[in-house]
Structure 1
Amino acid sequence: MESQRTFLFIGLMLVSFLLFQEWNSDYGPQPQAVQSASTQVNDATQSTDDTFIPSSSDSSVPGQIQRPSQSYISVTTDVLTVKLDTKGGDIVEVNLLQYPTEQHGEEPFMLLGELTGNQYYSQSGLIGIDGPDASPNGRPIYNTTQPSYTLAGDELRVPMTYVDAKGIEFIKTYVFKAGNYAVEVEYTINNSTANNANVQLFSQIKRTIQDKGSMIDQSYLGFAYGAFEKPYEKYSFSDIEDKNISIDTAGGYVSFIQHYFVSAWVPKQDEQNNIYSRKLSDNSAIMGVKGPVTTIAAGQQEHLSATFYVGPKDQAALKALHDDLDLTVDYGWLFFISQPLFDLLKWLYALLGNWGLAIIAITIIVKTLLYPLTKAQYTSMAKMRNLQPKIMALKEKHGDDKQKFGQAMMEMYRKEKVNPMGGCFPLLLQMPIFLALFYVFLESVELRHAEFGLWLMDLSAKDPYYILPILFGASMFLTQKLQPMTVTDPMQQKMMTYMPVIFSVFFLWFPSGLVLYWLVSNLISIAQMLIIYRGMEKKGIKVRG
């Protein structure tokens, strides 16, 4: 198996992998929806503005709610600016102060809000017989003491108060902490009436349905949830359009995932919760979680809470919030390879202070570790090349008798101690590492707007001048020159000749950090090939020409 075929094989594997990803997202098997015996999401309702209120087993919710004029509360911390709607106390806008929209720009990245026609909100409330969000008059309008809040110390509490017609006081408090993207939502219910009160906490994420990106951009855009038996399960827009889910589970979480960023609701993990989804009439979808019904005795007070994470895909922060939430940094089925590679990449960055240098360093390390496989691959290829005259002689001897020709060829391989698959097996072992690194570069928010130097000012974006793809094609062309073609089929010869051009075009739109890895890997392979061939030629093994 020649080196040119190696490039072809890698290309076909990569394209096939991306095509499989595309096919699987459209036609692959989907998780089965489990209907809860005690709660039916289909009984839920929505208001005129399509705010979805999940149904409760203890009460029904009216369908049409007139929305009043909106009033907002602004919150500013060291990492977030947040806009809260006094109606329902929902989070209707979040800007990430540490992540500019454009590289070196002043405008922070808006993660939640009105995003060019796409609504993306975080909603929470209390349903049940006495829940204010299940009132026939619509969702509660909360009162606050001030219109804006700014974090001054380690913690900022933003309380909002509502008293219903029965005299039950509901205090919804958002708790923000310095340097933290996890926001605690606390409910304090003061039941000053003579009767027990029953409420049920719900929290959900609403997002306008949006088409997935191109096949090259394989970052997932959609919902995901975690349940007791399923620590991480994607549930895309198309899944929700096909069927709603209602899953009872201990603990759990719901989330919405996009490139580099995630939002997630994490309820109390020691409670029995219900995860649900719903497609709305305004071309949006919702996934949420409901807690158990809570009874507040007459004259007593009760506290309920949940946590909302809204920010970058920081694996450590997500893991600290929920044991499985870091799985939203989706490395796919090769996570067991991607995770240590990512840890190594972060360590190299801490050592070198530049993500481009870290990518070069990890490429050198990977290629060094794989050198024994590379040597076996090139050695096998050289031996197979030397056997070509003998193979042609056997073919002439046996003519059209393919059975005798095959037996004679296998006997020759045995005598010459050559494994005809020796060039393929090392490559098959290397492919998982290549694909694992592909997802490391795709999923790592640390590489967003990461500078290398010279013209490469953003390793997460394509090369603006296409220099890396051209250099990559040149490295492939050089490899072909160092290993002249031995294939005789004209079609294969033509395909091998155009492979550098095909790959260069293919990589034009890839993140420059990924193309940098492939280019450096190619250059190292060329150096290793020259070293291996020089050693083989000293032993009298003809390699080239």
Structure 2
Amino acid sequence: MESQRSFLIIGLAFVSFMLWQQWQEDYGPQPVQPIEAQQTTPVSQGVPSFDDTQSQQDVPTGNSVPAAVPSNQAANTNRIIEVKTDTLDLRIDLLGGDVVSADLVKFPVEQGSEEPYSLLRSGNGLYVAQSGLTGPQGPDGSASGRPVYSAQSAFYEMKGDTLEVPLTWKNNDGLTVTKTFTFTKNHYDVDVSYTINNQTGTTANVQQYGQLKQVIDAEDDGNMFMPTYRGAAYSTEDDKYSKYSFDKIADDDLKETTPAGWVGMLEHYFVSAWVPSQDEVNTLYSRNQADRYAVIGVLPPADSIAAGETKTIGMKLYMGPKDQESLAELARGLDLTVDYGILWWISQSLFALLTFLHSLVNNWGMAIILITVIVKGAMYWLTKKQYESMARMRNLAPKMQQLKDRFGDDRQKMSQAMMELYRKEKVNPMGGCLPLLLQMPIFLALYWVLMESVELRHADFVLWITDLSVKDPYFVLPILTGLSMYLLQKLQPTTITDPMQQKIMQFMPVAMSVFFLWFPAGLVLYWLVSNVITLVQAKMIYASMEKRGISSK
């Protein structure tokens, strides 16, 4: 097998994979189109009922209230409070105590912009984190609708290492609920707790819930060359990480009861997730509301608070970047939202190495160059075997032609003669393919590392390349990559005589350069450096082969 054919296989396989991803997006099953509605039309909150573990009803009886984020927010400014920390800028709606807006202050929406990235948001791209207490005595379980909490201030700002934002609700029967958001410096996870003081004279039965609600038709920044997933995900004891797309939510409600677990909403580089107590058995669920909103949530076990007692329960809400270390500490499998695919176990190892190299050079571009050198160096013995095997096969070409002339159309005798020739010459016909197959998982794993790791978002390299997660603005790297592929093609001898195959091989560097125009600069940098190293290695291998009397021509 010729080396040029190896590059053709890699290129065609990679491009075919990208085309398949885009076909699935363009022509695969699509979400149900949203139903248009007037801004003032009331819609259901989708609050789970107390007996959700049995009935899975979407909305409690009589619970029909305005949308979680009113379209006319100016008319409701008195019920929106603002919370600022070193990592988050939040808006909390006193109706239900939902987080209706979350800006990530350390992540600009565009490089150099002062506008922070909005993870949770209102308006046409509705995406909110709802939570509360349902049940016979729960504030969210009453027929009158969601509770309206009171707050001591309309603005909270972190001054120390922690910040508590208490919201209070009480009824006429003597039940008081304090919903407290606790923020920690340098953290994106928030403790959401409920302190229930029961002075009603009877036992109070409540059940907390947390759910993420997002409009289905929000825009996605993914494309053929940077396929990304926007949708829901969850974790159970049996499956650490499962995607649950908006299509699946539209077709079938999720209902899973599991020890521990979590639910989340994903988009490129960022995630929101509700993480209940990992020591309890929780119920995970999903909803499709009015064919417009997708909801995924979690119900911890119900709680009973005896008369005269006070009890505190709660769970965590994460709103931030897909930081693998932080996510792994919160819950089992939450770090897998950094979706490296089926090769995640290789990708995580490569990411750990890439992170270590970055700690040494403090430049992600230089770290990519170093990890490429290391990976190519580690696979040098495979590359050497591949080149030597191809050279031996080329040297056998005259003898193979003699066998063809001798046995003609007798395939059985031809096959036996070929196997005898391979045995005698100590040549493995698969020797050129096997090293390539072993290298492909490494390449694909590193591809997903460079695609999915939020650390490379807006990461500077040198000169004109100021963001390794987007395309080279002047296309210098793709052009250099195409040139390196052309030089590598010229360096390697070929026995291809078919004119059509020759034209295809000559066109491959140009075709791959065109595709690379839209690839993230970090990935193109990796491919360019890999090609340059391969050129050097090929020179070394050919020189060694010549000394041992193995012709490379």
Q: TM-score, normalised by structure 1?
A: 0.93
* Corresponding residue SS for 1:410: helix
Deviates more, 1:117-126 or 1:47-56: 47-56
Cα offset, 1:56, TM superposition: 1.6
* Corresponding residue SS for 1:205: strand
CA displacement, residues 430-458 of structure 1 (integer Å, 9 cap, x when unaligned)? 00000100111111111000010011110
CA displacement, residues 125-149 of structure 1 (integer Å, 9 cap, x when unaligned)? 1100011112211111111111000
Alignment match, 1:427: 436
Cα offset, 1:21, TM superposition: 5.1
Matching of residues 291-310 of structure 1 within 5 Å: 291-310=300-319
Structure 1 residue ranges without an equivalent (≥5)? 30-46
For 1:302 and 1:111, locate their aligned partners in 2 and report how far apart those are by CA, in whole Å: 32
C-alpha contact 2:63 2:144 (8 A) present in aligned 1: no
Work out which of the residue numbers 22, 43, 48 in structure 1 matches 2:42.
48
Deviates more, 1:157-166 or 1:305-314: 157-166
Work out which of the residue numbers 89, 105, 108 in structure 1 matches 2:97.
89
Alignment match, 2:195: 188
Aligned length: 526
Cα offset, 1:22, TM superposition: 5.9
Work out which of the residue numbers 122, 130, 133 in structure 2 matches 1:114.
122
Cα offset, 1:510, TM superposition: 1.0
Cα offset, 1:168, TM superposition: 1.1
- Aligned partner letter, 1:239: K
* Corresponding residue SS for 1:396: helix
Alignment match, 2:15: 15
**1:206 aligns to 2:200 (yes or no):** no
C-alpha contact 2:44 2:64 (8 A) present in aligned 1: no
Cα offset, 1:252, TM superposition: 1.0
* Corresponding residue SS for 2:473: coil
**1:141 aligns to 2:148 (yes or no):** yes
Change in Cα spacing, 1:25 to 1:321, as seen in structure 2 (3 Å) is: farther
For 1:387 and 1:236, locate their aligned partners in 2 and report how far apart those are by CA, in whole Å: 53
Cα offset, 1:469, TM superposition: 1.1
CA displacement, residues 46-93 of structure 1 (integer Å, 9 cap, x when unaligned)? x92342111221994324225685321000001110000010000001
Change in Cα spacing, 1:201 to 1:276, as seen in structure 2 (3 Å) is: same
Alignment match, 1:75: 83
Q: Give structure 1 regions of 4+ aligned residues with deviation exceeding 4 angstroms.
A: 19-29, 66-69
Cα offset, 1:106, TM superposition: 1.1
Cα offset, 1:27, TM superposition: 11
For 2:325 and 2:96, locate their aligned partners in 1 and report how far apart those are by CA, in whole Å: 31
Cα offset, 1:28, TM superposition: 11
CA displacement, residues 171-224 of structure 1 (integer Å, 9 cap, x when unaligned)? 111001111101000101111111111111000001111476323222221111
Work out which of the residue numbers 311, 316, 321 in structure 2 matches 1:312.
321
Alignment match, 1:42: none
C-alpha contact 1:94 1:111 (8 A) present in aligned 2: yes
For 2:421 and 2:141, locate their aligned partners in 1 and report how far apart those are by CA, in whole Å: 81
* Corresponding residue SS for 1:206: strand
C-alpha contact 2:237 2:261 (8 A) present in aligned 1: yes
- Aligned partner letter, 1:368: G
CA displacement, residues 89-137 of structure 1 (integer Å, 9 cap, x when unaligned)? 000011111111111221111111037x211100001100011112211
- Aligned partner letter, 1:125: G
Work out which of the residue numbers 123, 126, 131 in structure 1 matches 2:130.
123
* Corresponding residue SS for 2:151: coil
Cα offset, 1:352, TM superposition: 0.7
C-alpha contact 1:191 1:298 (8 A) present in aligned 2: yes
For 1:480 and 1:196, locate their aligned partners in 2 and report how far apart those are by CA, in whole Å: 79
Change in Cα spacing, 1:199 to 1:160, as seen in structure 2 (3 Å) is: same
Change in Cα spacing, 1:464 to 1:436, as seen in structure 2 (3 Å) is: same
Structure 2 residue ranges without an equivalent (≥5)? 30-40
* Corresponding residue SS for 1:170: strand
For 1:412 and 1:83, locate their aligned partners in 2 and report how far apart those are by CA, in whole Å: 76
C-alpha contact 1:485 1:493 (8 A) present in aligned 2: no
* Corresponding residue SS for 2:122: strand
C-alpha contact 2:22 2:223 (8 A) present in aligned 1: no
C-alpha contact 2:343 2:445 (8 A) present in aligned 1: yes
- Aligned partner letter, 1:48: P
- Aligned partner letter, 2:448: Y
* Corresponding residue SS for 2:297: strand
Work out which of the residue numbers 164, 171, 183 in structure 2 matches 1:164.
171
C-alpha contact 2:44 2:65 (8 A) present in aligned 1: no
* Corresponding residue SS for 2:150: coil
* Corresponding residue SS for 1:527: helix
For 2:245 and 2:158, locate their aligned partners in 1 and report how far apart those are by CA, in whole Å: 36
Change in Cα spacing, 1:24 to 1:274, as seen in structure 2 (3 Å) is: farther
Q: TM-score, normalised by structure 2?
A: 0.91
For 1:156 and 1:26, locate their aligned partners in 2 and report how far apart those are by CA, in whole Å: 45
* Corresponding residue SS for 2:178: strand
Change in Cα spacing, 1:335 to 1:25, as seen in structure 2 (3 Å) is: farther
**1:458 aligns to 2:452 (yes or no):** no
Cα offset, 1:360, TM superposition: 0.3
- Aligned partner letter, 2:305: I
**1:412 aligns to 2:421 (yes or no):** yes
Alignment match, 2:35: none
Alignment match, 2:249: 240
For 1:21 and 1:93, locate their aligned partners in 2 and report how far apart those are by CA, in whole Å: 31
C-alpha contact 1:65 1:138 (8 A) present in aligned 2: yes
For 1:538 and 1:375, locate their aligned partners in 2 and report how far apart those are by CA, in whole Å: 14
- Give % identity: 54
Alignment match, 1:371: 380
* Corresponding residue SS for 1:173: strand
Alignment match, 1:359: 368
- Aligned partner letter, 2:338: V
Cα offset, 1:232, TM superposition: 1.0
Alignment match, 2:448: 439
C-alpha contact 2:274 2:317 (8 A) present in aligned 1: yes
C-alpha contact 2:493 2:552 (8 A) present in aligned 1: no
For 2:223 and 2:164, locate their aligned partners in 1 and report how far apart those are by CA, in whole Å: 42
For 2:243 and 2:3, locate their aligned partners in 1 and report how far apart those are by CA, in whole Å: 39
* Corresponding residue SS for 1:486: coil
Cα offset, 1:25, TM superposition: 8.0
For 2:485 and 2:92, locate their aligned partners in 1 and report how far apart those are by CA, in whole Å: 55
What is the Cα-based RMSD across aligned positions, in Å?
2.0
For 1:368 and 1:402, locate their aligned partners in 2 and report how far apart those are by CA, in whole Å: 41
